[in-house]
Amino acid sequence: MRAEAVAEQPKSIVKEAVAYLAAITCAEIVTMFLHPLWGVVGHTIIMAMLIVRAARSSDRYHQQLALSLTILPLIRIIDLSLILSLIQVTPILRFPIIYAPPLVGGFMVMRLLGYKRSEVGLTLGPLRSVPLQLGIASSGFLLGWLEYLILKPEPMVSQLSWTVVLPIALMLVATTGFVEEFIFRGVLQRAAAESIGGWRGIIYVSVLFAVMHMGFQSWIDVLFVFAVAMFFAWVVKRTGSLLGVTLAHGITNVMLFLVIPFL
């Protein structure tokens, strides 16, 4: 009986993980093609269901998967609510508003699930790995250029000057860089790897990361982001540190939104 339950558990949790992915994808599609308000409604329902599932489950694998995933709808609820409010918020304020609650949520999930800092990549790693981390960080320049070729976004600032660009660049590294990497390659990757398996968990989180970029309305970009997510996930798995990918992610967005549009 016990052996049968153990054998059935992976199938059960994988099906549940796919259901969560499908729900989040549907909420993103609704946001794109109907209205952001319905996206907020959808993500609110998903978040509530995940919280209830995590609270009522006695199985650690199901619990940690559901609890870690609550951070994703939280990000979208805040982001879409800002859009719906029609209040003009400068980038220097917008990013902290969006990312501060998920950052706190990430640390709360980390504490509730008993993860150590080293288990979610919050370590610099050995000194000998610093050159490798800097090499990984430098990939952000290439990734930013490649994504610009796909999206060609308008610049986030009015002029390319240090006084204007530097504060927002630092904010991008701290938010889209550190916070997103902490959530996806740190907490979520750890939870998914334990729940549904190592590489299966990495692929799952990478798909989620790509889905969360559907708002740019470019399927080429979604595929590009998935490939980048897989690369970042592999790096964190090999090095055990978020340092390189945090800098690479931040530099990617700095190049994409602040620098290359002016070149």
Domain-wise residue ranges, the chain? 2-116+128-262
Structure tokens at 136: 């990984």
Q: pLDDT confidence of 10, banded at 50, 70, 90?
A: low
pTM above 0.95, yes or no: no
Let me know: does 78 contact 98? Beta carbons within 8 Å. yes
Place of tokens 């640390």: 107
What percentage of the chain carries pLDDT values higher than 70?
A: 96
Residue 3 pLDDT > 70? no
Q: Taken in order 176, 182, 187, 192, is the CA torsion positive or negative?
A: positive
Separation of alpha carbons 216 and 224, rounded Å? 12
pLDDT of the residue at 6: 40
Q: pLDDT confidence of 213, banded at 50, 70, 90?
A: very high
Read off the pLDDT of each residue in 103-125 and give the average, rounded to a whole number. 94
Let me know: does 47 contact 54? Beta carbons within 8 Å. no
Who has greater pLDDT, 205 or 3?
205
Separation of alpha carbons 102 and 41, rounded Å? 18
Instruction: Quote the mean pLDDT of the chain.
Output: 92
pLDDT of the residue at 8: 46
